């Protein structure tokens, strides 16, 4: 009985260590994506990343004997295909493709609007009630988005193609996030996440081949920097980051776990400025503050937490 208090204290410390780690991991993902696609085609790099991560997780699942405790059905694979399409092909795939036209900081900032799209899609499809704080958050978030996008596109400093790609990516991720709450998947997080990553990774790879990304790609052209970034994306961002997020969801609250939605974009902007010498303008800072304030109002509303990458 006397040993229960120290573990509780250690657990609180572990929560904050993992939480801060998740902020940094997710924030650094946009920089890693930018470095990866410098010499590796975007859709192909995403396909490799998720397929390998999924196979690793499935291997761990089987080594632990998870297949002995539950049987994976065809229906579960069907749902995994739908989520692989929305979350990984439409979400992460289009994000990675659009990142080639944008700075890593702007990519992270545009991606931070995912909770806004989740709220809109939930209202349009499921008629989910919007609270006052959600409505205010939506207004602030999209007001900041317009402040960032409209003048920048007009001045030619922000790619319309990249911006539209990031919006499509965010909407697709929102659709997948909402569908995931109703999807039938294995109880094991290792099995379910592995299924999503493998199906999504294979679809990304197939799309890359169909679009002919390989025509302008040679293995000899891959830089050490791009390869290192891809390994980091696979091992740290995908495998460790997803596991950390799921652990936080189980032991804390969705609102606390989802604080990365408005912390990570700030880290992405700072890393892009510090390591890639990306420009930070007053307009970018103002838009970032407004968008993240809007997202914060929604994420910290009880019951509003949603899962991202």
**Among candidates 232, 209, 260, 200, which has minimal Cα distance to 35?**
232
- Give the CA distances from residue 104 to residues 62, 96, 147, in Å, rounded to whole numbers and listed in that order: 36, 10, 18
Q: What is the Cα–Cα distance from 244 to 257, expressed in whole angstroms? A: 9
- Please report which confidence band the pLDDT of residue 126 belongs to, taking 50, 70 and 90 as the band edges: confident
Domain positions in the chain: 28-299
Q: What is the Cα–Cα distance from 122 to 282, expressed in whole angstroms? A: 33
Q: What is the Cα–Cα distance from 156 to 168, expressed in whole angstroms? A: 21
**Among candidates 17, 49, 22, 54, which has minimal Cα distance to 33?**
49
Token digits of residue 273: 């400025």
Lowest mean pLDDT among 81-90, 117-126, 206-215: 117-126
The average pLDDT across 262-267 equals: 82
The average pLDDT across 112-122 equals: 84
Mean pLDDT estimate for the chain: 85
Sequence-separated (6 or more) residues with CB below 8 Å from residue 90: 168, 169, 172, 173, 175, 176
Which of the 8 DSSP states describes residue 153? Answer: H
**Among candidates 229, 232, 203, which has minimal Cα distance to 92?**
203
Percent of the chain with pLDDT over 90: 39
Percent of the chain with pLDDT over 70: 89
């Amino acid at each position: 009985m006397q040993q229960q208090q120290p573990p509780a204290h250690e657990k609180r410390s572990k929560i904050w260590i993992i939480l801060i780690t998740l902020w940094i991991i997710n924030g650094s993902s946009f920089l890693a994506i930018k470095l990866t696609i410098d010499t590796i085609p975007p859709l192909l790099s995403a396909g490799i990343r998720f397929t390998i991560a999924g196979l690793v997780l499935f291997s761990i699942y089987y080594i632990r004997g998870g297949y002995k405790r539950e049987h994976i059905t065809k229906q579960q694979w069907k749902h995994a295909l739908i989520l692989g399409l929305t979350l990984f092909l439409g979400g992460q795939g289009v994000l990675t493709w659009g990142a080639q036209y944008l700075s890593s900081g702007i990519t992270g900032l545009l991606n931070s609007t995912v909770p806004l799209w989740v709220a809109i899609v939930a209202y349009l499809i499921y008629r989910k009630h919007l609270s006052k704080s959600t409505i205010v958050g939506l207004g602030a978030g999209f007001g900041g988005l317009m402040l960032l996008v409209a003048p920048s596109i007009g001045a030619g400093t922000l790619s319309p193609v990249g911006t539209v790609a990031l919006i499509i990516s965010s909407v697709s991720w929102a659709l997948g996030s909402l569908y995931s709450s109703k999807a039938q998947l294995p109880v094991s997080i290792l099995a379910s996440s592995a299924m999503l990553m493998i199906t999504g990774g294979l679809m990304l790879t197939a799309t890359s081949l169909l679009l002919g990304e390989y025509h302008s790609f040679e293995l000899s052209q891959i830089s050490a920097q791009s390869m290192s970034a891809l390994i980091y994306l696979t091992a740290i961002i995908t495998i460790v980051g997803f596991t950390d997020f799921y652990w936080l969801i189980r032991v804390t609250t969705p609102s606390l776990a989802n604080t990365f939605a408005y912390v990570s974009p700030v880290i992405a902007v700072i890393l892009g400025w510090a390591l890639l010498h990306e420009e930070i303008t007053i307009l970018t800072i103002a838009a970032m503050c407004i968008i993240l304030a809007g997202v914060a109002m929604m994420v910290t509303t009880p019951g509003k937490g949603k899962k991202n990458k």
